[in-house]
Amino acid sequence: MLKAILFDMDGTLTQPLIDWREVRRQLAVPEGASIMDQVESLDGDQREEAEQLLKRIEYEAATQAHPNPGVVELVERLHESGLRTGLVTNNHERAMMCVVRKLGLQFDLLLSREDGVAKPAPDLVLLALRRLNVNAADAVFVGDGRYDRAASAAAKVSYIHLDPDRAAPQVGPTIHALTELWPFIVPLLDSSRRDPCK
């Protein structure tokens, strides 16, 4: 029975603004490594400079964030249905809070990379399950990237991929807009939580 839905932030709740390829270039991230792996591998001043650069890029994007269509209405509807909601992002906390406030979103739980090992590790997803007091089998993660998919799989949480490109190959459950999510999850709800008008 579905009890909780977890969301990624950039590219899922918001329209993507950050050029991650350029960020990887600026931070000299090796092929196959994550940005956070690279930052954490540095020492002293180099690490501090890399962290500050990443935070500046993230916060600038947060201040300019635009919601993906339907996100506000979706989150409100999920709350009305009795589902718990969580935001699980690799962004830093200040940028995350900026986006949440800017878009006027309400979640039961907010987790940033300061709260644990970043995705693709499952740590933040597992922490979200513990804090929301739900089992992995009773949760779904909605994201738009391979790290979201990997973290969900490692945490044994069902994953729904958001990809606006309808021509792209689909691997597993996929939606092309957040407005498609509600009908996607209705079959997972118990009858008492379904919209009586549908």
> What CATH number does residue 80 fall under?
3.40.50.1000
Domain end marker among 30, 46, 63: 63
109 in the same domain as 47? no
Confidence at residue 194, expressed as pLDDT on a 0 to 100 scale: 53
Pair (105, 177) in one structural domain = yes
Residue 192: its pLDDT value, please?
Answer: 47
pLDDT tens readout for residues 125-149: 999 999 999 999 999 999 999 999 9
Q: Are residues 123 and 145 in the same domain?
A: yes
Looking at the fold, whether 46 and 89 belong to one and the same domain comes out as: no
DSSP secondary structure code for residue 90 in this structure = S
Residues 47 and 145 in one domain: no
Q: How many separate domains does the chain show?
A: 2
Distance CA 3, CA 107 (A): 14
> Domain range for residue 84?
4-15+68-193
**Residues 94, 179: one domain?**
yes
Contacts of 53 (CB under 8 A, 6+ apart): 26, 27
Same domain as 102, residue 41:
no
- pLDDT score of 107 more than 80: yes
**What pLDDT score was predicted for residue 118?**
94
Is 96 in the same domain as 181? yes
Q: Which of 81, 87, 119, 62 is nearest to 2 (CA)?
A: 81
From residue 33, alpha-carbon distances to 37, 39, 44, 52, 96 in Å are: 6, 10, 20, 19, 23
What is the pLDDT at residue 117?
Answer: 94
69-72 contacts, C-beta under 8 A, 24 or more apart: 69/177, 69/178, 69/179, 70/177, 70/178, 70/179, 71/13, 71/14, 71/103, 71/105, 71/178, 72/103, 72/104, 72/105
Q: Is residue 198 assigned to a domain? A: no
